[in-house]
Amino acid sequence: MKSRENLYSAWAILIGVILAIIIGIFQIALVSYYSWIYFVLAFLGIIVGLASVNDDYRDAIIFLMATVSVVIVSSIGQERLLFIGDVGRFMVTILNALLTMFIPATIIVAATIIVALKTVFSVTSVK
């Protein structure tokens, strides 16, 4: 079962990255479809987040650290990329699309880890 969940997560990430690159390259032509495309990316992020949480919380913590790193660097780096010009604008659009996918995944994994840790502490606490 775990390998199937990993397969779904891997496909969702691959589709999201491809969509993000397509959005960046064809951003002017896709302006009227942004809401649908970003909805699909957010949905893929939810799938990735749910598939990344399983019995092995070490993998979930590694995934959480990786996605938090992507979110932070992408958010901070966008302002500097605009100095490049048109290429920077395409890169910022791609990063925004990736953020749309990774933020829901990060929130789901973080919430699951917090609930799991709270459960462990409540079970092991002395009453």
Domain residue ranges in the chain: 2-124
Q: Which residues of 39-52 are buried (b: 16+ CB within 10 A; e: fewer)?
A: ebbeebbebbbbbb
Place of tokens 């598939």: 51
pTM of the model: 0.76
**Mean per-residue pLDDT, 4-33:** 78
Long-range contacts of 112-119 (CB under 8 A, 24+ apart): 112/53, 112/60, 113/53, 113/57, 113/60, 113/61, 113/64, 116/57
**Mean per-residue pLDDT, 5-27:** 79
**pLDDT at position 125, please?**
66
User: Mind listing the pLDDT tens digit for each residue in 73-93?
Assistant: 888 888 888 888 888 888 888
**Does the pLDDT of residue 99 top 60, yes or no?**
yes
